[in-house]
Amino acid sequence: MTNNLHAQDALIAVKNIHKNYQRGSETIEVLRDVNLNIHKGEFVAFMGPSGSGKTTLLNLLGGLDVPTSGHIFIDGEDIAGMSAKKLTTWRSRHVGFIFQMYNLIPVMTAFQNVELPLLLTRLSKSERRRHVEAALAIVGLADRMSHYPRQLSGGQEQRVAIARAIVTDPTFLLCDEPTGDLDRKSANEILDLLTRLVQEHAKTVLMVTHDPLAANRAGTRFHLEKGVLAVNSKGEAP
């Protein structure tokens, strides 16, 4: 009941999602009847053991993969039925990705990495520069613009990746274990930054994590177990 009420104004509404992978003749059910609603400005954490389907769910929400069945409404649009081509354009407008391994382009500077998503917009060169500088300032790396990824620490690389994710002001951010490869101190800095993005910049953040300390930053926590979304932190049935 609560679910339906929430669904009215949810930014993300996932309905009866199933995702199967075929491995030879065997069908692996990675996600089973997942339902969830996420509102604008929420900071959501997904937890669960390795192999429980967290990355798979995030990939579906980010339009990197398509569900076997079910619907994913984002801002009212069902992306589950979109063609690969439409999904590509949709991703560039709505999703900012943050990966565990940062996934910066090693041959490009911090500035050029952050500028990449803007190359898909109509912004002029000077407008792009303004946006990139603003994004790098938010993550505290305005003075590292011309550094290459190899010249940065892991925490700094992840901050560049966050700048790249927010530079187009996407509808929501998807973070797959963003602190998984960082020491505690750098991890805390990244979590501070994500928290600040939610609180000060009204971003919607969906984060997969193993780390309970990271999950505690989130206002909403979901648990995945063998492809089934269990209870969240508010004690509601999802």
Partner 1 sequence: MAIPLIYNVRSIQGRFSSTLVALFSIAGVVAVLIAMLAMASGFKKTLVASGSAHNAIILRGGATSEMESSLELEQIKIIGDDPRIARDSAGRPLYSAEVVVIAALPLRSSGTDANVQIRGVSQDALAIRDTVKLLKGRFFTPGLAEIVIGKHAQETYSGFDLGKNIHFGGRDWSIVGVFDAGGSAFDSESWCDANVLNQAYKRPENLFQSMTARLTAPAALQDLKNAVSTDPRLTVGVKSEIAYYEEQSVMITTLINVLGFLVAGVMGIGAIFGALNTMYAAVSSRYREIATLRAIGFRGSQVVLSFMLESLIIAFLGGLLGALIILPINGYTASTINWQTFSHMSFAFAVTPDILIQGLLFSLILGFFGGFFPALRAARRPIAPALRGL
Interface contacts to partner 1, rule CB under 8 A: 55-56, 59, 62, 64-65, 84-85, 88-89, 91-93, 95, 97, 99, 101, 103, 105-108, 112, 116-117, 119-120, 164
Q: Where are the beta strands (DSSP E) in the chain?
A: 12-23, 26-38, 43-47, 69-74, 77-78, 95-98, 172-176, 205-208, 220-225, 228-232
By CB under 5 A, the residues from 37 to 56 that bind Mg ion are: 55
Does residue 179 touch Mg ion according to CB under 5 A?
no
Alpha-carbon 123 to chain mean position: 24
Comparison of 55 and 156: residue with beta carbon closer to Mg ion:
55
CA angle 174, 175, 179 (to 5 degrees): 170
- On whether the CB atoms of residues 152 and 160 are closer than 8 A, the answer is yes
The Cα 194–Cα 207 span in angstroms is 10
The tokens of 156 are what?
A: 């700094």
Stretch that binds ligand ADP, among 36-44, 51-59, 142-150, 155-163 (CB under 6 A): 51-59
The Cα 49–Cα 149 span in angstroms is 30
Q: Which of 13, 38, 53, 160 binds ligand ADP (CB under 6 A)?
A: 53
Query: How many residues touch ligand ADP (CB under 6 A)?
Result: 12
Does residue 179 touch ligand ADP according to CB under 6 A?
no
| Dihedral sign for Cα atoms in the order 67, 71, 73, 78 | positive
CB of 165 to Mg ion, least distance (A): 18
- On whether the CB atoms of residues 72 and 34 are closer than 8 A, the answer is no
Does residue 21 touch ligand ADP according to CB under 6 A?
yes
Q: Which of 34, 36, 42, 56 binds ligand ADP (CB under 6 A)?
A: 56
Q: Which of 12, 13, 14, 30 binds ligand ADP (CB under 6 A)?
A: 30
CB of 117 to Mg ion, least distance (A): 23
Stretch that binds ligand ADP, among 45-53, 99-107, 180-188, 195-203 (CB under 6 A): 45-53
Q: Which residues bind Mg ion (CB under 5 A)?
A: 55
